[in-house]
Amino acid sequence: MSELEIRAPQDQEGTKSAIRAWLKQPGDRVRAHEALVELETDKVALEVAAPEDGVLLEILVQDGDVLPGQILARFGQSQNLGKTPQAAALPTSSQAPAPTARPASRSIASFDAGLRLSPSVRRLCAEHQLDPRAVTGAGRGGRITFADIERHLAGAQQEAVQIIAHSPMRRRIAEHMAQSVQTAPHVTALFEADCSAIFAHRAANRQAAQAQGIPLTYTAYFVAAAALAMQAAPAVNSRWHDAHLEVFRDVHVGVGAALPDGGLIVPVLRDAQRLSLLEIAAGLADLTERARLGRLTKADVTGGTFSISNHGVSGTLLAAPIIINQPQSAILGIGKLTKRVVVRELAGQDAMLIRPMAYVTLTIDHRVLDGAQTNAWLTRFVE
């Protein structure tokens, strides 16, 4: 029988990935471009599809981390579809007897094929001696997901301590954050921004933008200002190398977005320095909507040169330090917009005024940037 190898994607920019769920089992007949397995990184979920019509012969990696280019499974070509594949007569991993040290896995495996449980769900059920048939699945087609098992366990927990297993995405985020702190000396500078001009401009132009189907958000103004501020300190838009500094001409801005089911993703708006305010707003709206629906591609979350954490949308006045998104050199933090009393000079006299204010921070890699460059960038951004 002629066979093909199913491999993990090569172009992951060094990011680790993990098996999220096998969507097909050995012996299943599959059409070209039909998804075989879901992989998950700290940034996005990826699907690996069948290269052509055929049959899944053997799964080589059931669970855990995978390396770029690693062989995941073996696949029979389309000329074998009319025949009964040998793999179909073999027991699948979900039908195989579990090791004697973990008898709970055996009972779960006995009905796993009907429920189509992912390896991580099987493992969590085995660890907690849980019959997954007692769990209501909220996934696609009623599939039981890792989050469904976690919710069920949380509801059944009677003790004062709740144990929540880490999802693959949470593990990838933790690794990325720890690696950033270990790599770069973080320093944070704090400025205060008067957002009166933004409020006035948005009030005057919001309806016209909405008529074009574009939500004119405050974040769009922050992205536009950040792109302009790069002129004051170009090294903010750079990457550190041991022998040199790589300074980018194009500003590809990543804007952190919280996912509905937990975790964080950073979609990237490219060439922000060339876009108008409305183009920035339209681009952000598109990325945000596709992030919410889980439709971002790998290209949407890679290649960023600078990042913004608009943490004020969830109520935070100040967060520091915000961890740099390696291998970038800086990250901007925007606190909650609040009306505060400030002192301004009017007609030669000090006056107390109520203005919409926000604390803004720039956290830098101190190998790349010093205080003078950081303050020059923030001064221009606030202006």
Name the residues annotated as catalytic: 366, 370
Q: How far apart are CA 283 and CA 303, in angstroms?
A: 16
Is the torsion defined by CA of 41, 45, 51, 53 positive or negative?
A: positive
Q: How far apart are CA 64 and CA 66, in angstroms?
A: 7
Q: How many residues does the structure list for the chain? A: 383
Q: How far apart are CA 282 and CA 257, in angstroms?
A: 16
Tell me if 359 sits within 8 A of 226, measured CB to CB: no
Phi and psi, residue 355, nearest 5°: -135, 150
Q: Say what the alpha-carbon torsion angle 210, 212, 217, 223 is, to the nearest 10 degrees.
A: -170
β-sheet bridge partners, residue 55: 29, 76
β-sheet bridge partners, residue 46: 39
Phi and psi, residue 76, nearest 5°: -90, 145
Mutual angle of helices 103-115 and 119-127, in 10-degree steps: 140
Helix (H) or strand (E) holding 193: strand 186-194
Q: Say what the alpha-carbon torsion angle 236, 238, 240, 244 is, to the nearest 10 degrees.
A: -110
Q: Could you please report the per-residue DSSP string of 128-150?
A: TT--GGGS---SGGGPPPHHHHH
Q: How far apart are CA 156 and CA 230, in angstroms?
A: 52
